[in-house]
Amino acid sequence: MYLINLANGISMRATIITVCLLGVLYNPVRTQIPDNYEKLLEKIFDTNSTLNSIFDTKSTEPEQESNLDSQVRICGLNKECVPRILCNKDGTVKIYGQDLINLRMDNGSPCTYLELCCDVSSKLQQPKAEDVPQRNACGYRNSNGISFKITGAKNNESEFAEFPWIVAIFTKSANKKDYKCGGSILAPNVVLTAAHCVWNLQSASLMVRAGEWDFETTLEPFLHQDARVSEIIRHEDFSLSTIFNDIALVILKTPLTWAPNVQPICLPDAHTTFDNKRCFASGWGQDKFGRNGIYQHILKKIELPIVPHATCQAQLRRTRLSRFFQLDKSFICAGGELGKDTCKGDGGSPLSCPDPNNPGRYLQAGVVSWGVECGVENVPGVYANVAYLRDWIIEKLMTRGIDTKFFTP
C-alpha cells in the first residue's frame, strides 16, 4: 500500500489513505468506482478546508489592483512612504537590483519593506520604464530581481520577477479567492499545471494570477494580472489512482500582457534529458510536510538536482512505497537533499532547468506532482515529465489554433 502526498495542498490522512490507496500505482487492476466517488474524494482530501482563505484577497473579480497605498503615511518633513519604483530622482526604473531590501529588518520606519521614505519633490506619479528589459521571449530568469534585490532571506524567498512565468491558480468562492496551486505561462492565454490540481473543477470556478510575488502586498514594482479561465484540458490518461500523466492546460478568457514580471517559460524538446543538472522549483507552498507546515506569502525557490529515473525508482522503493514500486515514464524526479523540496501547496508549479544549449535560458523540465515526504534525504520529489508529455501539449494547442512560438526557444 502506498502513502503519498499530492503537492497541491491536498491533505492525505494516513488512517484514510491506507484504505483508499490500497495498491495505488503498482496495481494494474482497477476497482469499480463507487457512486459517491466525488464526495468520497472531497472527504478524504479535505479540499474545502485545508487551503481556504490562506491568501484572502479583496475581490472575486479579476482586476488590476493599484500598487499605491490609499493612505498617505508621513515619514518625515515633506516626506512620504511611496513604492520604491516611484522614488527616483532621475525618473527612471532601477532594474538591476541597486536597492537592497532586508526582509527581516525592522528599522522603526512607518514604511513597508517595499517602500522608501521619499522627498515629496522626488515622488513620481508614474515610473519611466525605458530601461526595463522587454525580451518578449521565453525562459529568461531575472536572477537579480527587478528594481530591487532582497537580503536577509531565510525561507528561500525568490527575487521579485525572478521567475516571471510562474502563476497562482485560485478557486473563486463567495467573497474570496482561495489559493489552489501553481502553474506556468506557456502563451498569453495558456497556463500549464498539474492535472490533480484541477481535478473535478470547472473552468468557471478558477482564476489565474500572473506576475505575483508577495501575496500580502500590492506594492511590488509591477502589477500582477488576473484572468478568468475559459477551458481546462486534462490529460486523458490521468487518474487519481495512478497519478500518471499528471498534466493539464488552462486556457484563459483574456490574454496576459507581457511585462517584466509576466513572461513565458520555454518547453524542452521531447528527447531532452536533465539528469544530474541543478534546477529551480518555485511556489507558495508549505515549508514542511504536515500540520506544522506554513504557507509562504513570498514566492520561494529551491535549487534541486535532477535524479536519474533508475536512481529515483530505487530510492523510492526504500520508502513505504515498497520494493515493488515502478516509476512511470511520465514522471521525472528532483531533490533528495535534506531540508530542500517542494511541498504541500506547490502542486502544478514549474521545475525550471537551464537550457543545455543556452544556459542563460530556462526550460520547464517538470510540473510539481507528488512526494512521499518533504525534504527527506535520498527521497526525491516526483514531477510530471514535461519533455515526455510535450507532444500531448503541442497537439492540444495546435487543435485550438494556439501558436507554439511563445514557448519555443
Q: Does residue 54 sit within a domain?
A: no
Q: Mean pLDDT for each 10-residue chunk of the chain (409 residues)?
A: 50 34 37 45 39 37 43 71 66 43 52 71 53 74 87 80 96 69 97 96 95 88 94 97 97 97 97 97 68 67 96 96 96 91 76 95 97 87 98 98 96
Number of H helices and number of E strands within the chain?
4, 18
Instruction: Show Cβ contacts of residue 268 under 8 Å, excluding neighbours closer than 6 positions.
Output: 274, 353, 355, 363, 364, 365, 386, 387, 390
Domain of residue 79: give its range.
Answer: 71-132
Q: What is the DSSP letter of 313?
A: H
Both 101 and 245 in one domain: the answer is no
Q: Does residue 144 sit within a domain?
A: no
Q: Based on the structure, what is the number of domains in the chain? A: 3
C-alpha cell at 300: 520561494
313-350: pLDDT as tens digits: 999 999 999 999 999 999 999 999 987 756 655 799 99
Both 234 and 339 in one domain: the answer is no
Q: Does residue 141 sit within a domain?
A: no
Q: Does residue 188 sit within a domain?
A: yes
Instruction: Show Cβ contacts of residue 402 under 8 Å, excluding neighbours closer than 6 positions.
Output: 187, 189, 190
Instruction: Show Cβ contacts of residue 220 under 8 Å, excluding neighbours closer than 6 positions.
Output: 67, 114, 160, 211, 213, 214, 261
Both 19 and 111 in one domain: the answer is no
Of 95, 182, 189, residue with least CA distance to 135: 95
Q: Does residue 84 sit within a domain?
A: yes
Both 259 and 273 in one domain: the answer is no
Q: What is the DSSP letter of 285?
A: -
385-406: pLDDT as tens digits: 999 999 999 999 999 999 999 9
Both 294 and 258 in one domain: the answer is no
End-of-domain residue from the set 84, 117, 132: 132
Both 272 and 244 in one domain: the answer is no
Q: Does residue 55 sit within a domain?
A: no
Both 175 and 237 in one domain: the answer is yes
Listed as own residue / partner, the contacts of 393-398 with beta carbons closer than 8 Å and 24 or more positions apart are: 393/186, 393/192, 393/247, 393/249, 393/267, 396/233, 396/249, 397/186, 397/187, 397/190, 397/249
C-alpha cell at 75: 515619514
* Nearest-angstrom CA–CA distance, 207 and 225: 10
Both 26 and 83 in one domain: the answer is no
* Nearest-angstrom CA–CA distance, 392 and 397: 9
Kindly give the residue spans of alpha helices, DSSP state H, lying in 304-385.
309-317
Q: Does residue 221 sit within a domain?
A: yes
The CATH number that applies at residue 366 is 2.40.10.10
Both 187 and 256 in one domain: the answer is yes
Both 190 and 270 in one domain: the answer is no
pLDDT for 99: 52
Both 248 and 294 in one domain: the answer is no
Both 121 and 270 in one domain: the answer is no
Q: Does residue 158 sit within a domain?
A: no
